Amino acid sequence: MLRILVTGGAGFLGSHLCERLVKDGHDVICLDNFFTSQKTNVTHLLDYPNFELIRHDITVPVFLEVDQIYNLACPAAPGHYQFNPIKTIKTSVLGSINMLGLAKRCGGRILQASTSEVYGDPEVHPQPESYRGSVSPIGIRACYDEGKRVAETLFMDYHRYNNVDVRIVRIFNTYGPRMHPFDGRVVSNFIRQALAGEPITIFGEGTQTRSFCYRDDLIEGIIRLMNCEDGFIGPANIGNQDEYTIRELAEKVIEISGSKSTLTTEPLPADDPTRRQPDITLAKKHLNWSPTTDLATGLAKTIEWFRTINLDDYRPPTPNYK
């Protein structure tokens, strides 16, 4: 049994990670400031003796004794991280410094949840970990993109100069049950609109592409990276290699949900990447990992979960959620 800290542990992915680690028998501390997350994501874990919930912001140091740290804390949807961009970059930079300091003091291993957004609007396709990216440092997405890039720099510097045991995962678009319905992500937007019979909003012509990874596959991948012992620390792309246009995604959501929704278009947001697909060669080689859930199966499970929730129980976490 390990003592494991999960920052951002009440979020979409963090809550599933906590659930998996608790059921695996580890002593889990979930730390979250509830800016974009829901307490209800983890309330079912409160009765477990090996689970603890702490309300805390990682831009402020915290003193705990742990063996592993999964650093997932950071607003991840554009409407959320653009709502307070300075707070967003502080979370990535100051939060990483604080968590790395904790790992250094405890002698623990720490995993950084980075993102495919470090590649920006890529000029290489699909994107391997060796690609350095095409990111605007002054764009409206830079608070998130560059914040995550600096976090990776900090992790590698702490590893090289302070011998901190680190792991870095670059997460590509992930979806599944327990997504916040108003998080502004394309999957949750489309499902919410489809179930309401509203027009599904596509930005641009819908020809931009994404690769969608189901949440269970993603959680398995990052746990394998955390516990990899062959000397591989990453960065490692974790995502599904199947590439779809946004229009194709909308059509699949309509088909699987049985909705009568039509499609409507709005202008493409600034700095929105035109293509996104992971090269997962390293994950296959070092982690023996590849996704097992196809998009149709994952969407069906996600849509079914959306049918069970009451949208009135969820407030848009920020005013800029569309």
Catalytic residue among 144, 214, 244, 321: 144
The answer to whether 23 touches 216, Cβ cutoff 8 Å, is no
Rounded-to-integer distance, Cα 150 and Cα 35, Å:
22
The answer to whether 167 touches 234, Cβ cutoff 8 Å, is yes
Domains of the chain, start order:
3-174+213-238 (3.40.50.720), 176-211+241-276+293-313 (3.90.25.10)
Element (H, E) at 6: strand 3-7
Q: Is residue 131 flagged as an active site residue?
A: no
| pLDDT tens over the chain, length 322 residues | 999 999 999 999 999 999 999 999 999 999 999 888 889 999 999 999 999 999 999 999 999 999 999 999 998 877 778 888 999 999 999 999 999 999 999 999 999 999 999 999 889 999 999 999 999 899 999 999 999 999 999 999 999 999 999 999 999 999 999 998 888 889 999 999 999 999 999 988 889 999 999 999 999 999 999 999 999 999 999 999 999 999 999 999 999 999 999 999 888 877 677 888 999 999 999 999 999 999 999 999 999 999 999 888 776 655 544 4
Number of H helices, E strands in the chain: 9, 13
Its pTM stands at 0.93
How many residues are present in the chain? 322
Chain-centroid distance, C-alpha 9: 11
